[in-house]
Every structure is written in C-alpha cells, then in structure tokens.
Amino acid sequence: MSKSWVLKFIKRIFNCWFGTLERFPQENGITFRHHQPEIPNIGDHLCSPRHYFSFKNSKNNLIILGGGVFSNYGVDEVKLNCFEPENVVLWGVGVSLRNKQEARADLLPYRVWGVRDIDRTDDAHFLPCVSCLSPMLNRSAAVSGTLLFLNADPNVAPNSFKEKYKSLAEKKGWRVLFNNCTESEIAFALQNCNHIITNSYHASYWGLLTGHKVTVLGYSSKFISLLNAFGFNKDHLFSIKRGDGDSLYESLSFIEDDRNSVFVKDYQNFLMDFRRRNVEFAEKLVNNHLVEGFELKINSSI
C-alpha cells in the first residue's frame, strides 16, 4: 500500500466527516472549485467561470468544478470530498495523460457537464475553456515579435534551467514571461507579439484564439486535445518530457522562427463559437433548475 494512497484515504475520511480545509471562492451560494497552486498559475486562475458569469439564486450546495485538469474528469475529486454528483457542475475540465491509456467522457455522473477535450467526448459535451470569454482576447496579434511563455511550476520546467531559458531567449530576441504572471502582464504580452513559443496549455489556447502563430511544446494528451479542437493533429506538437529541463532546452534551441508553428486563419470564428458554447452551457444550468438566471460580468463579443 503506497504512502500517497494512505494520505488520500485519510484526506477523504476527514473531508467526508468534517468538510474540506481548502478554501474556494464562493459567490451567490455557489462554490467554485479550481486549482489554486502554491505557485500562481494565470491559466488556473482565469479558467473559472466565476470571472465571467454572475448567477442568481442557485440551488443549495451547488459546486462548479473547473476548468483546468482533474483526473477522471472530476470523478475522483467528487469521491475524495464526498460530494453529491447531482450538486456538481463540471465546467470545461480536461485530463492530462502521459501514456497511451484512453479516457472518455461519455457517462459522467453530473446533471450538467462539459469537457474541453474534443477528442474524448461528443460535440454536445465539448466545452472549451471558459477563459475564451476574457476581454484580453478581443485584441488580435501584433505584426511582429516573439514571446517565450513558460510554465513556472518546477515540476514542469525545473528552476535550475530558468536562467538558461532566459539567456537563450535573449540571444534569439524573444521576450520571456512565466505563467505565474498577472492578468495584465499576459494581456500586454499577447498584444505585443505575433509568435508564441510555449509549454503552457492556456498560452497556446489564447494565442490560437487571437491570431498568433503558436509553437506548442507539449508533454501530455491535453496539448493534443487542444490542437484537435482547432483542427490540427499531434504532428504539429513539439513533444517534450514533463519536468525534463534538457528536453525543453533542446527543443527551444532548435526553434529559429515560426516555420513549425500553427496558425488558425479563421480564429475569430473559433473565438465566437467557443464563447457561444460557454453561454449556452450557462443556460443549461437555468434549464436544469440549478440557478434561476445569470448575467455576463464582462464585455465580450458573443
């Protein structure tokens, strides 16, 4: 019996009897559960629907889980915390698999659910990350400039390599930003570059939705699912090993320009479609009597 399994079991017992010690944002009676890592992650922050919707008169104990990555599409999270599945809405959650195992989202236990992995569900349940509603995506790419945007999590990109990445970027004339940045910092960076080189799911997503050329360096199924959502296959992915600084540095050294990037010609149509899907998903909460209504908090073209 592994130590991690024992710790998870103890956590489950504690959560079921006493409630979770973790604190998540609450608005109008709804608890919004999403990842809140110790090292800030702008993608994990902006992928919660609480930033974009104001819901009215929700059902008691309603939990909105998402977005971001949750194993087994949140089923493990629900079991671990002894939640009632009928009280949980799954909003734009994905999986991140690093082997060939299959995962499908066909019969999930929630009354209303949508997943961001287009290749693992049907069209009716495909729900792109809600961060597509961010007003920062209303502005298209600049005519020039390259941004190197990297994950700040040392389990993804080791801290010992950060100065090497910065030095390489300076040599190549790239601007550098890590995903523990602020919303204003990523918004400014997006508006002032044409080409994005990244190992971040959300930077790839935002770049493709705003007409950037994006070189995607990926280490799991979530990057393939993202490319599939825009009509590309896995051949457009620079495969790297998660947490392997040498692998990432070698790939970055190989990149000289945007020749191996992906670009979505009709990106504005994708942006409109992805936004529409999220608004229609919010309407499903009303139709299923989970909330009485909602308003958009932001000014985004739908």
Query: What pLDDT, on a 0 to 100 scale, did the predictor assign at position 302?
Result: 64
Query: What pLDDT, on a 0 to 100 scale, did the predictor assign at position 3?
Result: 55
Do 126 and 168 sit in the same domain of this protein?
no
- Above 60 in pLDDT, residue 35? yes
Report how far residue 102's alpha carbon sits from residue 120's, in angstroms, rounded to the nearest whole number. Answer: 9
Do 162 and 228 sit in the same domain of this protein?
yes
Q: Which domain holds residue 116?
A: 22-133+291-296
For residue 19, whether the previous peptide bond is cis, meaning omega lies within 30 degrees of 0, is no
Domain count of the fold of the chain = 2
Query: What pLDDT, on a 0 to 100 scale, did the predictor assign at position 103?
Result: 80
Query: What pLDDT, on a 0 to 100 scale, did the predictor assign at position 301?
Result: 64
For residue range 214-260, what is the model confidence (pLDDT) as tens digits? 999 999 999 999 999 999 999 999 999 999 999 999 999 999 999 99
Do 125 and 145 sit in the same domain of this protein?
no
Confidence of residue 16 (pLDDT cuts 50, 70, 90): low
Instruction: Give the CATH number of the domain where residue 168 resides.
Output: 3.40.50
Do 121 and 218 sit in the same domain of this protein?
no
Query: Does residue 1 fall inside a structural domain?
Result: no
Do 125 and 143 sit in the same domain of this protein?
no
Residue 19 tokens read as 């409630």
- Above 60 in pLDDT, residue 132? yes
Query: Does residue 168 fall inside a structural domain?
Result: yes
For residue range 43-69, what is the model confidence (pLDDT) as tens digits? 999 999 999 999 999 999 999 999 999
Do 247 and 148 sit in the same domain of this protein?
yes
Do 118 and 159 sit in the same domain of this protein?
no
What secondary structure letter does DSSP report for 236? G
Query: What pLDDT, on a 0 to 100 scale, did the predictor assign at position 257?
Result: 95
Q: Could you tell me if 35 and 44 are in contact, meaning their C-beta atoms sit under 8 angstroms apart? A: yes
Query: Does residue 301 fall inside a structural domain?
Result: no
Q: Which of 111, 6, 18, 17 is nearest to 64 (CA)?
A: 111
Tell me the average pLDDT across 193-197.
99
Do 165 and 249 sit in the same domain of this protein?
yes
Query: Does residue 14 fall inside a structural domain?
Result: no
Do 226 and 127 sit in the same domain of this protein?
no
Query: What pLDDT, on a 0 to 100 scale, did the predictor assign at position 154?
Result: 96
For residue range 133-144, what is the model confidence (pLDDT) as tens digits? 999 999 999 999
Percentage with pLDDT > 70 across the chain: 91
Query: Does residue 116 fall inside a structural domain?
Result: yes
Do 218 and 145 sit in the same domain of this protein?
yes
Range in 12-16, 37-41, 285-289 with the lowest mean pLDDT: 12-16
> What does each C-alpha distance from 135 to 180, 194, 209, 287, 294 come to in angstroms?
19, 18, 12, 27, 18
Do 248 and 215 sit in the same domain of this protein?
yes
For residue range 100-114, what is the model confidence (pLDDT) as tens digits? 667 889 889 999 999
Centre a 10 Å sphere on the Cβ of residue 46 and count the other Cβ atoms it contains.
22
Query: Does residue 110 fall inside a structural domain?
Result: yes
Query: What pLDDT, on a 0 to 100 scale, did the predictor assign at position 45?
Result: 97
Do 129 and 150 sit in the same domain of this protein?
no
Mean pLDDT of the chain: 93
Query: What pLDDT, on a 0 to 100 scale, did the predictor assign at position 10?
Result: 58
Q: Report CA torsion sign: 234, 271, 65, 177.
A: positive
Query: What pLDDT, on a 0 to 100 scale, did the predictor assign at position 100?
Result: 67
Q: Could you tell me if 287 and 112 are in contact, meaning their C-beta atoms sit under 8 angstroms apart? A: no
Tell me the average pLDDT across 24-31.
94
DSSP H helical ranges for the chain: 3-18, 42-46, 75-80, 162-172, 183-191, 201-209, 221-229, 245-254, 267-287
Query: Does residue 263 fall inside a structural domain?
Result: no
Query: What pLDDT, on a 0 to 100 scale, did the predictor assign at position 99?
Result: 79
- Above 70 in pLDDT, residue 300? no
**φ, ψ for residue 262, nearest 5 deg:** -115, 150
Query: Does residue 198 fall inside a structural domain?
Result: yes
Tell me the average pLDDT across 270-289.
98
